């Protein structure tokens, strides 16, 4: 049936729907926890950099004044030495389905990927292949190529469907008794496709290989059960849906049975069995601390703690519910407002198979995004012609999502004129 409604009627009905969804949203009150951004009409980039909480300035100031300024170096003993592990446990419990002692906060995602990939690559000398996918985030691919070059291994590439992402069958076809490690993203950074973590992990274990997941686009927004699903290792950012702020350190999960067995390559003093022994030889810690290398960035671990409180309060399940509904609403707004302008949908329509962003494509989107950013409407541009509408459930409303979609329409129309 052709939709004969005029543009104003379509817009009105979407505005009404957004209003009704916001009014019924059980997480609506949490929007108020985030700092205002003057001049920003819609922030749809929380999947790249989460917004700060309102109380972040006060907490940072208190940290400088008290923990650092007053307790000075005593704070290392009093609280900071343990923070990478304590915070890791908290991320594990609130978002990953991981029991304590298996998650740590350190470094950047890239560095942690390297450490774990390198450890997995050399675990069993009879295994000579790393399996990754061609559409994965550059750092994951570059690290795999680097580790392969360093260790004399080879990389086997999966070529997944660009919208649906890696399927179990793709993995089954790529793995064998030669596979040391399969490394994939839980949510594809471009399409938002959500991989079947338990199914793929099981398929990888069937050939005796290890499985690593990149959780950058799912940690804090999609419930998961790393322990129950048998995941060997995982890494993720804390500055996206965990709102840790620019450059906040990443987290790594290493299943307990691999600790003290796998060896990460950057064996700095913080990973030693006795940090302060200052002895002549290195012996690795037998627990999760072995993944550390040097002095952890304590100041950058502050902001994510407030967000973890909020996620725990809201519950990761309720956050996922809102994410499903928000992305559905974005797809509906796309259908009614952007599809008629020739914009392509680059994410799946099946909400259960996507993360918390929706990607749309149009040849003019690079210029359109520049225009939108100048006007305080902030989605995310991804080469070659994609806009990601990142919907961070605790900080994004339905009305804001619609504001963003309508602004894309307006910018696209005025660009064409
Ligand atoms: C999926 C994915 N993996 C890895 C990274 C790299 O993270 P970092 O820059 O913290 O090393 C990113 C960054 O956006 C990402 O989106």
With pLDDT > 70 as the criterion, what percentage of the chain qualifies? Answer: 99
Work out the mean pLDDT of the chain and round it to a whole number: 96
- Burial label, 71 (beta-carbon count in 10 A; 0-12, 13-18, 19+): middle
The CA 59 to ligand 1 mean position distance, Å, reads 26
Q: Phi and psi for 183 in degrees, rounded to 5?
A: -125, 120
Q: Flag whether pLDDT at 247 surpasses 80.
A: yes
- With a 6 Å cutoff on the Cβ, whether 322 touches ligand 1 is no
Q: Flag whether pLDDT at 5 surpasses 80.
A: no
**What is the number of the ligand 1 atom nearest to the C-alpha of 239?**
10
**What is the number of the ligand 1 atom nearest to the C-alpha of 187?**
1
With pLDDT > 90 as the criterion, what percentage of the chain qualifies? Answer: 96
**Looking at 51, 118, 127, 240, which residue is catalytic?**
240
Domains of the chain by start residue, with CATH: 7-55+315-416 (3.90.1150.10), 81-311 (3.40.640.10)
- With a 6 Å cutoff on the Cβ, whether 137 touches ligand 1 is yes
Reported as type and span, the H/E element at residue 234 is strand 233-236
65 is catalytic: no
pLDDT in tens, 103-157: 999 999 999 999 999 999 999 999 999 999 999 999 999 999 999 999 999 999 9
The reported pTM is 0.96
- With a 6 Å cutoff on the Cβ, whether 214 touches ligand 1 is yes
CA geometry: angle 145, 146, 147, nearest 5 deg: 95
332 is catalytic: no
DSSP string, 159-203: --BTTTB--HHHHHHH--TTEEEEEEESB-TTT-BBP-HHHHHHH
C-alpha span between 318 and 315 (Å, rounded): 5
**What is the number of the ligand 1 atom nearest to the C-alpha of 111?**
11
C-alpha span between 19 and 201 (Å, rounded): 41
Write down the pLDDT at residue 415: 87
**What is the number of the ligand 1 atom nearest to the C-alpha of 247?**
10
| Mean pLDDT value across residues 56-76 | 98
14: Cα separation from own chain's centroid: 29
The CA 269 to ligand 1 mean position distance, Å, reads 25
- With a 6 Å cutoff on the Cβ, whether 110 touches ligand 1 is yes
The CA 285 to ligand 1 mean position distance, Å, reads 27
CB 358 within 8 A of CB 334: yes
C-alpha span between 117 and 123 (Å, rounded): 10
Specify the 3-state DSSP secondary structure of 357. strand
Write down the pLDDT at residue 2: 47
322 is catalytic: no
| Mean pLDDT value across residues 74-96 | 98
Q: What is the dihedral of CA 337, 341, 345, 351, to 10 degrees?
A: 10
388 is catalytic: yes
Write down the pLDDT at residue 3: 55
Q: What is the dihedral of CA 35, 36, 38, 40, to 10 degrees?
A: 100
The CA 186 to ligand 1 mean position distance, Å, reads 12
- With a 6 Å cutoff on the Cβ, whether 241 touches ligand 1 is no
C-alpha span between 281 and 231 (Å, rounded): 32
| Mean pLDDT value across residues 54-79 | 97
214 is catalytic: yes
Q: How many CA atoms lie within 13 A of 372 on its CB side?
A: 30
Write down the pLDDT at residue 7: 87
The CA 250 to ligand 1 mean position distance, Å, reads 9
C-alpha span between 380 and 45 (Å, rounded): 6
**What is the number of the ligand 1 atom nearest to the C-alpha of 217?**
1
CB 369 within 8 A of CB 408: no
Q: Which of 323, 347, 343, 358 is nearest to 412 (CA)?
A: 343
Reported as type and span, the H/E element at residue 253 is strand 250-254
**Looking at 107, 170, 214, 385, which residue is catalytic?**
214
The CA 110 to ligand 1 mean position distance, Å, reads 6
If one residue of 46, 105, 189 were mutated to test the ligand 1 pocket, choosing by the most ligand atoms within 8 A of its CB, it would be 189
The H helix count followed by the E strand count for the chain is 12, 13
- With a 6 Å cutoff on the Cβ, whether 300 touches ligand 1 is no
- With a 6 Å cutoff on the Cβ, whether 365 touches ligand 1 is no
**Looking at 115, 118, 190, 388, which residue is catalytic?**
388
pLDDT in tens, 215-246: 999 999 999 999 999 999 999 999 999 999 99
- Residue 352: CB atoms within 10 Å: 7
Q: Flag whether pLDDT at 354 surpasses 90.
A: yes
Q: Which of 380, 385, 376 is nearest to 407 (CA)?
A: 376
Query: Is omega for the bond preceding 384 within 30 degrees of 0, making it cis?
Result: yes
Reported as type and span, the H/E element at residue 365 is helix 365-374
């Amino acid at each position: 049936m052709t939709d004969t409604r005029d543009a104003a009627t379509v817009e009105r009905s979407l505005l009404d729907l957004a209003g009704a969804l916001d009014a019924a949203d059980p997480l609506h009150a949490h929007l108020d926890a985030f700092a205002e951004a003057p001049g920003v009409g819609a922030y749809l980039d929380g999947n790249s950099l989460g917004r700060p909480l309102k109380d972040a300035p006060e907490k940072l100031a208190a940290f400088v004044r008290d923990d650092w300024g007053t307790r000075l170096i005593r704070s290392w003993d009093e609280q900071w030495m343990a923070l990478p592990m304590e915070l890791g446990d908290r991320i594990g419990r609130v978002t990953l389905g991981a029991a304590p002692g298996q998650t740590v906060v350190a470094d950047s995602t890239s560095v942690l990927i390297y450490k774990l990939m390198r450890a997995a690559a050399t675990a069993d000398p009879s295994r000579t292949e790393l399996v990754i996918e061609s559409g994965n985030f550059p750092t994951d691919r570059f690290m795999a190529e680097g580790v392969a070059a360093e260790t004399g291994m080879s990389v086997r590439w999966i070529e997944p469907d660009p919208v649906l992402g890696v399927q179990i069958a793709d993995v089954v076809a790529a793995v064998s008794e030669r596979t040391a490690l399969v490394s994939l993203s839980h949510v594809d950074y471009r399409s938002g496709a959500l991989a079947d973590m338990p199914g793929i992990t099981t398929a990888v274990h069937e050939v005796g290989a290890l499985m690593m997941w990149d959780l950058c686009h799912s940690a804090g927004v999609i419930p998961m059960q790393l322990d129950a699903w048998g995941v060997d290792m995982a890494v993720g950012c804390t500055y996206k849906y965990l709102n840790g702020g620019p450059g906040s350190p990443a987290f790594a999960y290493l299943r307990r049975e691999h600790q003290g067995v796998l060896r990460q390559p950057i064996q700095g003093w913080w990973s030693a069995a006795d940090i302060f022994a200052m002895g002549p030889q290195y012996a690795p810690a037998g627990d999760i601390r072995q993944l550390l290398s040097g002095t952890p960035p304590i100041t950058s671990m502050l902001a994510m703690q407030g967000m973890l409180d909020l996620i725990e309060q809201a519950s990761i399940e309720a956050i996922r519910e809102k994410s499903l509904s928000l992305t559905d609403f974005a797809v509906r707004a796309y259908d009614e407002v952007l599809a008629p302008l020739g914009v392509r949908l680059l994410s799946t329509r099946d909400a259960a198979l996507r993360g918390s962003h929706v990607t749309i494509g149009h040849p003019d989107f690079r210029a359109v995004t520049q225009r939108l950013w100048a006007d305080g409407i902030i989605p995310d541009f991804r080469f070659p012609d994609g806009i990601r509408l990142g919907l961070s459930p605790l900080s994004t409303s339905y009305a804001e999502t619609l504001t963003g979609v309508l602004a894309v329409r307006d910018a696209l129309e005025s660009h064409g004129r």
